[in-house]
Structure 1
């Protein structure tokens, strides 16, 4: 087969690159037929229960292509570019440019200034579209690269070996291993099922778990076949094996994706807020332009000239670079979070991170290292310490002989698999549950070869773990008959035991024995250990009822394992506390174990935290739960189920909290979706959890959550910073025009072409640099912002008016001072008068220089710019320097003087402008100092 060519696999007649295997009696495109037995299905697909040979799998991969859905959501490059011209600001500018071109054509005689204005407006549109397109294209490429950092893998059998392969490499005929928490990566026919249940909600909308079987079923619609599982769904319970018959676009999920491709994208609240702001700004600009037209109409100027003037002013008031600047700021935030191991999947998450008030965090893998290590085995009042750390099976069990049977039974009752390193820098790792991985390592340390043990006692039945009964049972065929191997929570398992076997002694489980087990379990849990009990039972047949297999058990002992806290988590929890974020541990572990870990990382500091178990939650109504959440500042939720977690999240949201939830399993998906911010684990989490979440932690560490909150707050702050900068500049431009209009001056202090030059040369680039501003040092020392707070809050509008008003007063002062000092009456001024040209140059230069200092002022909300560092944002200094250099060129270069109607300024003029330009910065520094003093005053002190 290794030499076979693509498209010639003899075992799959009619196969093709549509991703579907043909060649069976199936009446539809999804083959093989549901009514065939499992054995015939495997034969029809040219495979076996051992899976495909590796060489044949490679041939089929070339034949069918990768198991990927077509990227129908990606727009063509020309469509992406064209979309930049449909933004509201772009439409306004395009219409204005067209009208101005028309006005130029109708003028007699034609005014070259009108043509310059039309060309300038069109140039603004083109430049803004170029920036927006470049940013969107770059963001798309970045998102694709970041998505690749979270691997999508599945477990398959090839040549009889269980392997973990990329989901894109699945081919028809692959035998897939399915377990609870797995995402189904292709359309498959089930050939083996052990209490297997899937969630078909992505395909059918029904979120209830649906049982799957390996038995033949009657022919019918594909989605109703109970012996099939489909791409995009997830396994919620049990385990099994299935053979792939359709991949990629040929799957049911691929069909639905094609239907959904034409659906419009939903905008996030932030995008809607910005769109609303754009409409208001455009409306205000139109109103101001109309007002100026009406006020100047009685002066006797031609209607066409006045119309072009009003149109130019209106265009000048539109913040042309705002859409691109918003995109840049969000993209920078996403990239920074990615560098800190937090992959943001939705812009909404960036927005919500800034207002997070509660984090409901899992324990294992998030607060801890997710490398469970058995440190203690207990049987018959005798502890057996275990040496070694992590998944490498190096170490030993002290006096292993008495507990070897306990570890054998525990090892047989596992679905995980130890994987040795294959490269120098790799480590031992676990495929499957980390708790089971720790048991496998402990068994190896006791001298057991589980491969030999599994061959001697092959598994015939399994009752998977579920969160209700907290047990897992496997049934094995032994030389003496059949045996059930059971492991689970000590309290649940102890209640099902009637006998005990310790130190080779077997007898009835007495009350004293039970008390000893409970005392030991609590003692181990109080040390931060996760405790499991292990038992077994002889059975008469291979297919017992679950109740039979899990009753009248013989207790073998306890196993205690530790997952040490991550060293960086303590500082992260402390940072959340300072930021006003409440951290609540939600875990399925024993209360004593949860409290021990919570104390180590700083979630619990008081001697009497409130510890609530799932059983206690069941006894509470919503009012009692709401009161508990309101009163208890240090709260631990232990022994909870996914339903409990969901209920707690809902209760917090009822209280108006903004909730972030962490999770890694399929059963966490409901809470992750319901939370304001669902945070999934990227390294150890299931595909289902990652799909449900809006943020993925690539390193699984709680510290990355704290970092992401800090960066999320800075993103929102940066958006507000450049809004203040841009709109205060617009006030500085509009103020002199209004003053001249109402003062009766016949000409404008600054033309529309000059304003466009300011907006392009001195607005866009500094605004982009402000979008990249680093978080302020005290960003995590402030309480979370309210989600009801708008971009244009009272504080933002107040600061815009404060800084813009100072700019406008300074520009008006320098313009009218120069006009008045000439002693020439207003009516004698013309556009070519040297004094007027000097005055408009002073006005433009005053705006540019004051903008430079305003950009420095808005970098911080309260901190002095001297403490933040004048040189700490070199991009902003470079952008401001470019604007000043452009202004110098406009003042001195004859070619630009002709375009902008300017004149050269002398050193004294520049000195005056520099002094006026610093006024907004000095005034804002005084405001910040007052705010810092007010915040530093003790409560109740006179203000």
Structure 2
């Protein structure tokens, strides 16, 4: 027997041909034996399990990176030369960094687990002529699914029998409203949102009943394809990781070059090889900022904690800085820019029009635009009455919380009535229902019959064309005018319904909703925008960040929301759909330009979202992606920074993203961006601080060696300075205060390294100033005061330590030396006090003094240490003052 396989493009296959191809009887379903055979052949209807990242793998990753490799090599050389204390000290640095990184990265980010949780519901299938309830994993290709309101669809399937069937596909397609299902074939290239003849795995049925033949299970489903994309979408190194790695490579060449130069010069001078190797090792240690990775990790962790207080949960450390550098943000519409609920937005009555805002909880209705007198007309009251009566939904406030049951559009009509001051329950008591004509895809109207004052009232709502055709009192001109008005409302992104009624003294027959109706008007429904989005988007504009809407919803709806929230300005009203998007490898220069200029994309598939993100990444941008649905998961993972909505979002999106907004507020993204920019500025400052300190150590050792005035620093002393007296001030710089001015500047160029040319020039200037001061003190002490080599070594150690501590005040960005972000940072003062205390311990604790070769310092050296520490700060401030005057 030939194996049964999932058909390609099942939405294009007529249902009769599909049933025949799948070899199933739609009246009886598969036999138990055939279902078992297909299950064994095709496997379970479950998503494949992603490979888990073990704790060992996460820990092992902490020992990767260029700086780590250099430190490991330095430790190996130390052990080889018998310098075991130095070797163990370097290993301790590596372990501290690895443990810190492991603890902060250990979290559950298994998006596949979340996807799999959508698989555990039961399913009802037709087998051997009887409806049976089975595990969703046992559903196989060719099974006949039986669904009704409240079910979660177990597999992808094509419908062949429907009755008022609707499904909520917002998590899969981005479509705000439940989708009406039918058995008609859509156009060939229809996106998922327009394939109304299909049901999709993992989507809930919101109304009606239906039967469908299963065409895809497990990874073959649309949900499975998204799961595969989530698993296959690869994260590239974040900008911060890449920049730190690039900086580390520069340090390798500096280290190798200086060490080699020193060795060659020393050998030409016939100096002792062992001494040369020890000095070269000292240079290597001096060239490497051992504390940089630890400080970067802690600075990012501090940023994580600050964002957590502001309802932003960060799952990846580097994501804090990455968001600060983001210059393009892709955002979904539903639930992100909008509230993911349907509300009455526009009223179109004969001769009157208004845009309204209805608040049912506050029982308040406001006319925000249009005819303010519309609420005083009798037609308006009749519209409310018909909207309540021709309605099967329920809305109530229980214990202070709204409770909604039924179709979202019908719920919005009840909320509209309550906001207008009407009581739906009272209206139902005054107009008891006697009959109903349910909505169907054939008639596209719903009608109800009510008794009132010894007469009857017919209430009708439905598609404008169908309702208008049943209003015989309208002439052809008016009918066309009202229909054109409904089409314009649809073009503006509104879902429209027409309303009509009829009053009669005698009870009408079964065709009560089909003739002699009186037209009332149109209502336009909209998923309303989130009120806080507009100022947040304006803040993004001021910060030079481009925000782009990418949604699976209707183009007109997408454009309307984009205009309402001011995502686009006048003149930017271009919208492209999935049909307009070519594969990335087929784009020409003009195509790329058009895509990069467009701000609104609609009817876009998950795969096309990935292409859009990659397009911008290829253009050199740092891309953020916000989303809340299953359909957003691959793009959240592919982007440089994935941002999920925590309240309305699916668990899949939250597990896949790098950040989760607990309050679903787009404003929180702006807050996170500001924090990210502050973090990057702080990182730039402490990298500049650490490297200038390290370069001063290199200069001290190198210049002393070339001048043949002895070895002013020992390798272990350099290591001590690097991991103690350098790290704490650098850490204080890393957790500096926020700088609001950063959000009024454009995003930094993602291609720009952490340190630009100006930073490198200042770095050399800082290092030379410290070197001149420290070597000056060393020369004066040994040559003029007659200090021994060891006493000179101790003088250099404390002078360099103190000079580097004072150097932190050179990193200010303001003009005032005494009032700036450095002096206002209390952690700077804590760090300085701590480091001074540690330096005192190295002198007064015998064990530490022995390890660092510290001997008693004569009192004459104390004033030299103080002068050597303060002199570089004075010199740098004078140079900066001259530079400012020269501008």
TM range (shorter): 0.5 to 0.7
1:766 is matched with 729
2:829 is matched with 877
One of 87, 91, 105 as aligned partner of 1:139: 105
Query: 2: distance between equivalents of 1:918 and 1:581?
Result: 42
Query: 1: distance between equivalents of 2:434 and 2:784?
Result: 104
Structure 1: which 5+ residue stretches go unaligned? 1-32, 45-66, 105-113, 160-169, 203-208, 214-225, 464-472, 488-492, 538-552, 824-833, 935-942
Query: 2: distance between equivalents of 1:703 and 1:571?
Result: 8
1:220 is matched with none
Give the secondary-structure state (helix, strand or coil) at the position aligned to 2:81: helix
Query: 2: distance between equivalents of 1:686 and 1:810?
Result: 60
2:87 is matched with 121
Residues 587-626 of structure 1: matches in 2 within 5 Å? 588=555, 597-598=564-565, 609-612=571-574
1:339 is matched with 309
Residue 741 of structure 1 deviates from its aligned partner by: 0.9
Query: 2: distance between equivalents of 1:925 and 1:882?
Result: 25
Give the secondary-structure state (helix, strand or coil) at the position aligned to 1:557: strand
One of 710, 719, 723 as aligned partner of 2:687: 723
**Contact in 1 for aligned 2:360/2:416 (Cα 8 Å):** no
Query: 2: distance between equivalents of 1:866 and 1:147?
Result: 54
Give the secondary-structure state (helix, strand or coil) at the position aligned to 1:778: helix
Seen in structure 2, the aligned counterparts of structure 1 residues 799 and 433 have a Cα distance that, compared at 3 Å, is: farther
Residue 755 of structure 1 deviates from its aligned partner by: 0.5
Query: 2: distance between equivalents of 1:625 and 1:264?
Result: 25
Seen in structure 2, the aligned counterparts of structure 1 residues 841 and 131 have a Cα distance that, compared at 3 Å, is: same
Query: 1: distance between equivalents of 2:863 and 2:405?
Result: 71
TM-score by length of 1: 0.64
Seen in structure 2, the aligned counterparts of structure 1 residues 129 and 254 have a Cα distance that, compared at 3 Å, is: farther
1:540 is matched with none
Give the secondary-structure state (helix, strand or coil) at the position aligned to 2:497: strand
1:846 is matched with 799
CA RMSD between the two structures? 6.4
**Contact in 2 for aligned 1:363/1:585 (Cα 8 Å):** yes
1:428 is matched with 402
1:100 is matched with 78
**Contact in 2 for aligned 1:418/1:429 (Cα 8 Å):** yes
One of 683, 704, 713 as aligned partner of 1:740: 704
Residue 728 of structure 1 deviates from its aligned partner by: 0.9
Seen in structure 2, the aligned counterparts of structure 1 residues 391 and 922 have a Cα distance that, compared at 3 Å, is: farther
Query: 1: distance between equivalents of 2:78 and 2:621?
Result: 52
Check if 1:807 corresponds to 2:766.
Answer: no
1:641-689 deviations in Å (ceiling 9; x for gaps): 4489969989877876655555556677787677665554333345676
Query: 1: distance between equivalents of 2:227 and 2:631?
Result: 25
**Contact in 1 for aligned 2:266/2:276 (Cα 8 Å):** yes
Query: 1: distance between equivalents of 2:70 and 2:123?
Result: 61
Give the secondary-structure state (helix, strand or coil) at the position aligned to 2:676: helix
2:671 is matched with 707
Give the secondary-structure state (helix, strand or coil) at the position aligned to 1:559: strand
Residue 698 of structure 1 deviates from its aligned partner by: 3.1
Residue 311 of structure 1 deviates from its aligned partner by: 2.5
Query: 2: distance between equivalents of 1:457 and 1:157?
Result: 33
Residue 793 of structure 1 deviates from its aligned partner by: 2.9
**Contact in 1 for aligned 2:207/2:407 (Cα 8 Å):** no
**Contact in 2 for aligned 1:733/1:808 (Cα 8 Å):** yes
Query: 2: distance between equivalents of 1:240 and 1:910?
Result: 90
Give the secondary-structure state (helix, strand or coil) at the position aligned to 1:534: strand
**Contact in 2 for aligned 1:681/1:696 (Cα 8 Å):** yes
Give the secondary-structure state (helix, strand or coil) at the position aligned to 1:324: helix
Query: 2: distance between equivalents of 1:432 and 1:280?
Result: 64
**Contact in 1 for aligned 2:637/2:656 (Cα 8 Å):** yes
Which deviates more, 893-902 or 507-516?
A: 507-516
1:917 is matched with 869
Residue 788 of structure 1 deviates from its aligned partner by: 1.3
Query: 1: distance between equivalents of 2:519 and 2:657?
Result: 40
**Contact in 2 for aligned 1:373/1:563 (Cα 8 Å):** yes
Query: 1: distance between equivalents of 2:337 and 2:53?
Result: 37
Query: 2: distance between equivalents of 1:262 and 1:665?
Result: 18
Residue 743 of structure 1 deviates from its aligned partner by: 0.8
Seen in structure 2, the aligned counterparts of structure 1 residues 289 and 792 have a Cα distance that, compared at 3 Å, is: same
The number of equivalent residue pairs is: 773
Give the secondary-structure state (helix, strand or coil) at the position aligned to 2:54: coil
Query: 2: distance between equivalents of 1:81 and 1:144?
Result: 16
2:54 is matched with 75
2:719 is matched with 756
1:306 is matched with 276
Check if 1:822 corresponds to 2:785.
Answer: yes
Residue 326 of structure 1 deviates from its aligned partner by: 2.8
Residues 386-405 of structure 1: matches in 2 within 5 Å? 389-390=359-360, 402-404=382-384
Give the secondary-structure state (helix, strand or coil) at the position aligned to 1:320: coil
Query: 1: distance between equivalents of 2:346 and 2:228?
Result: 54
Seen in structure 2, the aligned counterparts of structure 1 residues 288 and 586 have a Cα distance that, compared at 3 Å, is: closer
Give the secondary-structure state (helix, strand or coil) at the position aligned to 1:775: coil
Residue 270 of structure 1 deviates from its aligned partner by: 3.6
Higher RCO, Cα 8 Å, sep 6+: 2
Give the secondary-structure state (helix, strand or coil) at the position aligned to 2:749: coil
Query: 1: distance between equivalents of 2:698 and 2:690?
Result: 13
**Contact in 1 for aligned 2:390/2:459 (Cα 8 Å):** no
1:743-775 deviations in Å (ceiling 9; x for gaps): 112x31110010111112112333333332233
Residues 782-797 of structure 1: matches in 2 within 5 Å? 782-797=745-760
1:799-830 deviations in Å (ceiling 9; x for gaps): 3222222222221111112112135xxxxxxx
Seen in structure 2, the aligned counterparts of structure 1 residues 627 and 100 have a Cα distance that, compared at 3 Å, is: closer
**Contact in 2 for aligned 1:190/1:242 (Cα 8 Å):** yes
Query: 1: distance between equivalents of 2:599 and 2:250?
Result: 47
Query: 2: distance between equivalents of 1:262 and 1:910?
Result: 63
1:328 is matched with 298
Query: 1: distance between equivalents of 2:872 and 2:243?
Result: 28
Residues 410-449 of structure 1: matches in 2 within 5 Å? 411=391, 421=398, 427-428=401-402, 437-442=411-416, 447-448=423-424
Give the secondary-structure state (helix, strand or coil) at the position aligned to 2:819: helix
Query: 2: distance between equivalents of 1:136 and 1:764?
Result: 20
Query: 2: distance between equivalents of 1:499 and 1:751?
Result: 94
Which deviates more, 646-655 or 775-784?
A: 646-655
